[in-house]
Structure 1
């Protein structure tokens, strides 16, 4: 395969989003949604920096197995309804996943601090 390129990429920082995926070790994170236990095996954390503001974690999308073995997804919104701070009453383990993703995101220049909750 031949590949060519010209130019130099420039990122605008007005509405920038970065998604960081994490493979989770089997059986280490069980999420409960509507009374059903879901065994998470992957998390995709979405970070955004709007109009030059600091980076914020917006959402985590978990890929998981249901008790019947079928795959499913569970999306957790991290921001409150006004989108100006963290959503209250999220399990601490969700923020642990965000912290793990933020560590990986540091490799691409994202600096992120967990919100106080």
Structure 2
């Protein structure tokens, strides 16, 4: 459970980093795009927290899957912002969300009983 708590803390910090990043680029991107990014980025951690505090294995699996989908959506919005205005720090956020996507995908694969070779 220690790793779960560490990942939860990392995801909170990632959400804060995204919000801080958006404050710096808010004049260069549409407000609706910023809102979408905030929703998806904060949803990754929120769903992960729900997963580790879930009431059943099925609940855990569902929330992990949602967290992974939200992480993928976050990557999508970050890439759009990168194309629009080439902001500083966007590559660091993209690297970080890719790391979380991989962690969450590995968890999904484990829950589905898949090995590395079965992807």
Instruction: Flag whether TM exceeds 0.5 (same fold).
Output: no
| Structure (1 or 2) with the greater strand fraction | 1
| Structure (1 or 2) with the greater helix fraction | 2
Question: How does the TM-score come out when normalised to structure 2?
Answer: 0.31
Question: How does the TM-score come out when normalised to structure 1?
Answer: 0.31
Larger radius of gyration: 1
- Higher relative contact order structure (alpha carbons within 8 Å, sequence separation ≥ 6): 2
